[in-house]
Amino acid sequence: MIASDRISAFDVILPRPIPYKGQVLNQIAAYMLGQTRDICPNWLMDVPAPNVSIGKKCNPFRIEMVVRGNLVGHGWRTYQSGKRILCGAQMPDGLKENDYFPTPIITPSTKAEAGHDEDISPEEIIRQGLVSEKDWQILEKYTLQLFERGRTIAKSRNLILADTKYEFGKIGDDIFLMDEIHTPDSSRYFLADGFDERQKSGEKQQQLSKEFVREWLIANNFMGKEGQSVPEMTDDWIDTISKRYIDLYEKVIGAAFIPEKLSPEKTEEKIVQSLKKLGAIS
């Protein structure tokens, strides 16, 4: 798997790449997969190049396991509309944006082949045969344990993991964690310093996530709907997005980001060496 520098929002790939985004995502994911391997098996086998991962091919479940610890993003927009049930999960009255839920809630979505992913309840997932009841119980357990580990890691870095999503698949009868985890493309972090004070005063929370890109698009009248056009992405805006990704890497990992650009030839050489080491090719 090669993590490109492309960026998407509202299920639309935006027209300009973000420098080093692929390396940031790949290296955060590799770190987090290593930190959670004791909870459940995962697909990753090797990281031969900055933006390359090699791993097991799984048969994916056609759902995403979205888990929310705080009322933010899509959860907040749903709550603001007056609804108190999201994907079968109850959201209590009296919450403000970014407040903690009493306990984290799982709000799954379908993985659409085309178009937008859709909210779906666990009951509907099982009824449609997307996941068996037995496998759902395992997915639910893994999801909550992974989220708790993610929050613990974030807390050690003075961050709050507000929400995230996980993807799973099977090899035979065994369930594996797939894809990247706890990166700014799949997760939302708040800065812990001053969080409570900002909540009390109604001040906007300081986020580390891709949400600022979505907010910029919404402010410029784009939400991926028919007839809407992606606003112009200037050089300064591209540079800002890149720096925000690098900043999140350094805060989450707790180490300086070292930019590394390999030529296609060097990347291919490292991939071949890794495949030979893994016994995938001779």
**Domain containing 212: what range?**
8-270
Residue 39 lies in a domain: yes
- pLDDT digits over 82-109, tens only? 999 999 999 999 999 999 999 999 999 9
Residue 276 lies in a domain: no
Residue 210 lies in a domain: yes
Q: For residue 196, name the pLDDT band (cuts at 50, 70, 90).
A: very high
Q: Tell me, what's the pLDDT at 115?
A: 57
For the whole model, what pTM was predicted? 0.89
Q: Tell me, what's the pLDDT at 116?
A: 63
Q: Residue 201: enclosing H or E segment and its boundaries?
A: helix 195-201
- pLDDT digits over 127-158, tens only? 999 999 999 999 999 999 999 999 999 999 99
Helix then strand then coil, in percent of the chain rounded to 5, is 35, 25, 40
Question: What does the pLDDT average to over 241-268?
Answer: 92
How far is Cα 262 from Cα 268, in angstroms, rounded to an integer?
10
Residue 117: pLDDT above 80? no
Residue 110 lies in a domain: yes
CA 248 to chain centre: 13
Q: How many domains does the chain have?
A: 1
Residue 2 lies in a domain: no
CATH of the domain at 69: 3.30.470.20
Residue 279 lies in a domain: no
